[in-house]
Amino acid sequence: MASHSLLFPGLPLHSARLVLSPIRRDDAAALFAIQSDPDVMRFWNHPAWTRPAEARAQIDDDLAAQATGTQLKLAVRETLDGPLLGICVVFALDRDAARAEIGYLLAPDRQGQGYMHEALQHLLDYLFQTLHLHRVEAEVDPRNRPSAHVLERLGFHLEGVLRQRWRIQGELSDSAVYGLLADDDVRTPLPA
């Protein structure tokens, strides 16, 4: 297997306030704290975690997928060795089709401060400029207006709604599909 530096060159990513770097096994406790919060997970495609082992297993799965080049989970931090604030995930990465999907979560005490907008802006620059993707997609529960607003501010277009896409703890929910093409990416690339 190739190392992440060959499959995903140019990491970590740095912005004015944030560092995005591959998730590490020692992030398990902080990841569990975020993904066990029912409010954070309310609009996610699975319920809040109840056992710390779920975080460890997820990170192991993420690292295995990263080693194949099909997925990348980035920890969002203020410094390279700082605490985990959230995650950005690139998945369903198809290099031949030049497309991927993204997902993201942020700790509740960091929401509403522009952190995810900043993190995703740098991630999109990386996906379009370094990995040379042509299309990036994201699915959002339509009731999650703050998340949809982040995507819209970044230039994503609402392309449709998948009705009753997910069943989480007995509740059916829709999924709004957003897409951004490299051609319609009107954001100004951020400096390296």
| Tens-place pLDDT, residues 56-88 | 999 999 999 999 999 999 999 999 999 999 999
- Does residue 191 lie within any of the structural domains? no
How confident is the model over 91-125, as pLDDT tens digits? 999 999 999 999 999 999 999 999 999 999 999 99
- Does residue 119 lie within any of the structural domains? yes
- Does residue 86 lie within any of the structural domains? yes
pLDDT at residue 185 in the model: 60
> Are 53 and 31 within 8 A, CB to CB?
no
The total of other beta-carbon atoms located within 10 Å of residue 166's CB is 16
Amino acid sitting at position 55: A
Percent of the chain as helix, strand, coil, to the nearest 5: 30, 30, 40
The domain in which residue 33 lies consists of: 4-134
Amino acid sitting at position 101: E
Looking at residues 43-61, what average pLDDT do you find? 93
CATH number for position 100? 3.40.630.30
Query: 107-113 long-range CB contacts below 8 Å, 24 or more apart?
Result: 107/33, 107/34, 107/40, 108/37, 108/39, 108/40, 110/85, 110/86, 111/146, 112/146
Which helix (H) or strand (E) element contains residue 75?
strand 72-77
- Does residue 118 lie within any of the structural domains? yes
pLDDT at residue 5 in the model: 64
- Does residue 102 lie within any of the structural domains? yes
pLDDT at residue 1 in the model: 43
- Does residue 96 lie within any of the structural domains? yes
Looking at residues 7-12, what average pLDDT do you find? 94
Total number of domains constituting the chain = 1
How confident is the model over 117-165, as pLDDT tens digits? 999 999 999 999 999 999 999 999 999 999 999 999 999 999 999 999 9
DSSP annotation string for 103-124: EEEE-GGGTTTTHHHHHHHHHH
How confident is the model over 26-39, as pLDDT tens digits? 999 999 999 999 98
- Does residue 23 lie within any of the structural domains? yes
Is pLDDT above 50 for 23?
A: yes
- Does residue 186 lie within any of the structural domains? no
